[in-house]
Amino acid sequence: MTAHPKHHRFALTVLLAGLATLGPFSIDTYMPSFPDMGESLHATPIQLQQTLSVYLLAFALMMLLHGALSDAFGRRPVILVSLVAFVLASIGCVFSYDINHLLFFRAMQGLSAGAGMVVGRAIIRDLYAGHEAQRLMSQVTMIFGISPAVAPVIGGWLQTGFGWHSIFVFMALLGVLLFALSWLYLPETLPPVGRQLFSPRPLARNYLMVFTNPVFLLLSGTVALHFAGFFLYIASAPVFVLQHLKLGENQFAWLFIPAISGVILGAFLSGRLAGHVSPRTTVKYAYLLLFTAAGINLVYNLTATLSLPWAVLPITLYSTGMSLAMPSITLLALDLFPLNRGLVASLQGFVQTMLNAMVAGLFSPMLSWSPIALAVGMLVFLILGRITWMTYLHKQQRAA
């Protein structure tokens, strides 16, 4: 692995985290505008919820290609082209005059917003190995984790001051800024000699190789199920914040800041543990936090009336455990296929985002009507993630 000065590594960390922010900013920033958008576009709450679902579905489908394209053509071109597409899609959202046009351009945003997140993971693994890779991925997660906390706050300010169109103007400007910084500072980490042929037959063979690998599916499923327990509350934020907590449209920070603080804390702890304890031990610690959080959350919702800060503290603890486990499990998956890291990152993101789309489009509408139902949903997703992780450990023990 190539050694990089600390100041270069810090700049790369910030840039990769910034590129990854397009995903959460495209999800969280416009949530405070749901009531205004519904009135302006004559859309029902279910139709507005589908603007999130269609974004996530497109996001997931394009994730299948982002990594493979970067394996074939290099990391840098894929990110730059995707940023241009994101800016154009955001401008389309600004000028949407009915719900159908908005759904179309939200899908276009989804097709372009995931490149930084997917290709960024491959860039990290291109440059670093072992605990250095875990440490850098944790640092990216820490900085990236700030964006979901900041996004709804910015969205609330923009909504209050300028209306919902200004939120998509903000997204377009963010895309322009990231394009300029990437053009100037993003390195190409995959030399031509290491690139894969972008041809249907070998590409299909590689997809099949990765996506039929049981270990990959178990590791990707574990990360996705852990995150689903957290994302259930993010997707349900308009109902959870406005109806259950009885807060205003500019008070989404009461949910997002504590929850994302947990993400940042978990990533920090993961980085500190890197090189001192094994990935499996790190995940073991994470499960102590996850099950404690999910248990407290369920008991609280069964026995008490929702109030701040108690309603959001278990979510904070859960996101800490989720973020503590994520870098270790992600790197285990990336190391399964060293020659196809971009493709692996794509498929890993696809699994997670497809589940997120199901959470937003199916489970959130089913469960968000009741705080107790949300708490049960979190616990069920966690238990399923625990089952996939234990199955992975069992397979590794049998193979040893």
Q: What is the pLDDT of residues 301-310, one digit of tens each?
A: 999 888 888 9
Q: What's the rounded mean pLDDT across residues 165-179?
A: 92
Domains along the chain with CATH numbers: 6-399 (1.20.1250.20)
Cα–Cα distance, 269 to 354 (Å, whole number): 28
Q: What is the pLDDT of residues 177-213, one digit of tens each?
A: 999 998 988 888 777 777 776 777 877 888 888 888 9
pLDDT at position 145 is 65
Q: What's the rounded mean pLDDT across residues 352-368?
A: 84
pLDDT at position 1 is 43
Share of the chain above pLDDT 70, in %: 92
**CB neighbours (10 Å) of residue 194?**
12
Q: What's the rounded mean pLDDT across residues 320-328?
A: 90
**3-class SS letters over the chain:** CCCCCHHHHHHHHHHHHHHHCHHHHHHHCCHHHHHHHHHHHCCCHHHHHHHHHHHHHHHHHHHHHHHHHHHHHCHHHHHHHHHHHHHHHHHHHHCCCCHHHHHHHHHHHHHHHCHHHHHHHHHHHHHCCHHHHHHHHHHHHHHHHHHHHHHHHHHHHHHHHHCCHHHHHHHHHHHHHHHHHHHHHCCCCCCHHHCCCCCHHHHHHHHHHHHCCHHHHHHHHHHHHHHHHHHHHHHCHHHHHHHHCCCCCCCCHHHHHHHHHHHHHHHHHHHHHECCECHHHHHHHHHHHHHHHHHHHHHHHHHCCCCCCCCCHHHHHHHHHHHHHHHHHHHHHHCCCHHHHHHHHHHHHHHHHHHHHHHHHHHHHHHCCCHHHHHHHHHHHHHHHHHHHHHHHHHHHHHC
pLDDT at position 142 is 67
Q: How many residues does the chain have?
A: 400
pLDDT at position 7 is 46
Contacts for 157 with CB less than 8 Å, ≥ 6 apart: 250
pLDDT at position 230 is 92
Q: What is the pLDDT of residues 69-94, one digit of tens each?
A: 888 888 888 899 999 999 999 999 99
pLDDT at position 91 is 95
pLDDT at position 34 is 81
Q: What is the pLDDT of residues 223-278, one digit of tens each?
A: 999 999 998 998 888 888 888 888 876 677 788 788 888 888 888 888 788 777 88
What's phi and psi for 274, nearest 5 deg? -60, 130
Q: What's the rounded mean pLDDT across residues 347-357?
A: 82
